[in-house]
Amino acid sequence: MPREDVRAAPRLPEEGLSDDLVLARARELMRDDLETGRVFAYVYDAARPRVRELAERVAEPFRELNALDFTVFPSLLRLENEVVGMTASLFHPGPDTVGTFTSGGTESILLAVKAARDRFRARRGEGAPAEIVMPVTAHAAFHKAAHYLGLTPVVLACDPTTFRVDPDDVRRAIGPRTAIVVASAVNYSHGVSDPIPEIGAIAAEGDVWFHVDACIGGFLLAYFERLGEPVVPFDFRVPGVSSLSVDLHKYGFAPKGSSVLLYRDRSLRRYQYFASTRWSGYPVVNATVQSTKSGGPLAGSWATLLSIGDRGYLQIAREVLAARRELERRVPEAAGLTLLGRPEAGLVAFTSESVNLFVLADRMRSRGWYIQPQPGRPEHELPPSVHLTVTPGTARRQEEFLADLAQAAAEAEGAPDPPFVRQLVEALKAQAAAGAAPVEALARWLPLLGLGPAGLPEEMAEIHALMRHLPPEWTEALLVEVVNGLFG
């Protein structure tokens, strides 16, 4: 049976539909979505429905309020100051630590890089070429920021066992063009922290902006430390840390679209802002990339923080820590996978020399689970892996998950990469040697990979294997072509 064109969309109805019909259509659209407790990435389920319901109720009256102009809606100014203040209190703020509420980790990162770049330009001249120094494990959002803002990425290898960058490599990479240095607490791919105190000292020596990406690790690390876990100092206790990003919609369990970017002091945040009086309309001053933005996520975050409270977050940290430790112990026993690194927060990554991880991910998806395949990077000695994000929601399904994982791993044991992938890689390499552009070379192959208007194939092992074996400029072109074809 041919698959439906995912880009197909009905015309605007001549007459508005009834509430029941609209709700029925919405439920139909969600029929293939996985349950949040079975998804080990993207969603953060505190397993506390009351908190979620409260956040939704509080957010509702604020959704139509526009945070573009706090003079019209002063409630949003108060809400933001309270949310930023509650968040900053977890990270040893100084007397002048300030912050901004943003739409997510990527926007927080974009703004931190923009602020660092603009300070660099103020010191070196408007046209001075700027670089961003970061480990290969730094989130892709930093590459996005460099792409948007005109910085050159200087990407450093990591230890293939610990997945941490070497501080000496950071020191050697810093030069007269360095606008910002980046480290993670923790990195997304393996769940470990970089040596932040050592990097902070190096950044302070050279008076270089140092940003710590604690988007996914910050909330948990703050509470894990109180539970007696060894935590690498990563916040404003560390001399040299200029800014820190932490997402509320991750382990703060606030509604999606919620993050906070913190600065050591107000003088650094000044470079984040954009203002314009060069047009014929009202004076514009924006703290974030967005101008118009709903007050709903901010209000929902405020309600979540107040509802869970300090003791509530401490209890959540206990649940996540216990579940993560159990996965560390039992996944190798059940599925023959090998833990990568020493996890420090709520993330774990596993690899295997015998189980085809991309086939494993497909087999788990057929059982209603999502585990995240990571192709790794051969040029940096980073093996392929599967990533698991542990939450209280997934913890409640852990026995069921481990049973299915054992069965899926048995099915994926010894499964080779599809021969078609190896043939395609060789064909593409030959075309590249002949001077073909990636987009032109890839276009003819997409239908053979099951990619097109009908959406993505049910099994993705071929695609992930291809991502493993092609160089980044080809895989990036592939991703753009696929997504460009999916959306109408």
pLDDT in tens, 2-11: 456 666 667 8
Burial 267-288 (b: 16+ CB within 10 A, else e): ebbebbeeeeeeeeeeeeeebb
pLDDT in tens, 89-121: 999 999 999 999 999 999 999 999 999 999 999
The residue among 339, 120, 114, 324 whose CA lies nearest residue 227 is 324
Q: Provide the sign of the torsion angle of the four alpha carbons 355, 398, 344, 389, taken in this order.
A: positive
- Predicted confidence at residue 478, as pLDDT, reads 83
Give the architecture (CATH level 2) of 59-303.
3-Layer(aba) Sandwich (3.40)
Question: Beta-carbon neighbour count of residue 461 at 10 Å?
Answer: 22
Whole-number Å distance between alpha carbons of 359 and 455: 19
In terms of phi and psi (left: phi > 0; alpha: psi -120 to 50; beta: otherwise), the region of 353 is: alpha
Contact 64, 294 (CB under 8 A): yes
Angle between helices 74-88 and 296-335 (to 10 degrees): 30
Report which residue type is found at 283.
P
Six token digits for residue 418: 């599809």
Q: What is the 8-class DSSP label of residue 7?
A: T
Whole-number Å distance between alpha carbons of 448 and 149: 36
DSSP3 helix / strand / coil % (the chain, rounded to 5): 45, 15, 40
- Predicted confidence at residue 102, as pLDDT, reads 98
- Predicted confidence at residue 458, as pLDDT, reads 85
Whole-number Å distance between alpha carbons of 390 and 319: 9
Instruction: Please state the φ and ψ torsions of residue 189, each to the nearest 5 degrees.
Output: -70, -35
Q: What is the 8-class DSSP label of residue 120?
A: H
| Predicted structure pTM score | 0.95
- Predicted confidence at residue 1, as pLDDT, reads 40
Residue ranges, the chain, pLDDT below 70? 1-9, 454
- Predicted confidence at residue 6, as pLDDT, reads 67
Delimiting residues of CATH 3.40.640.10 domain(s) in the chain: 59-303
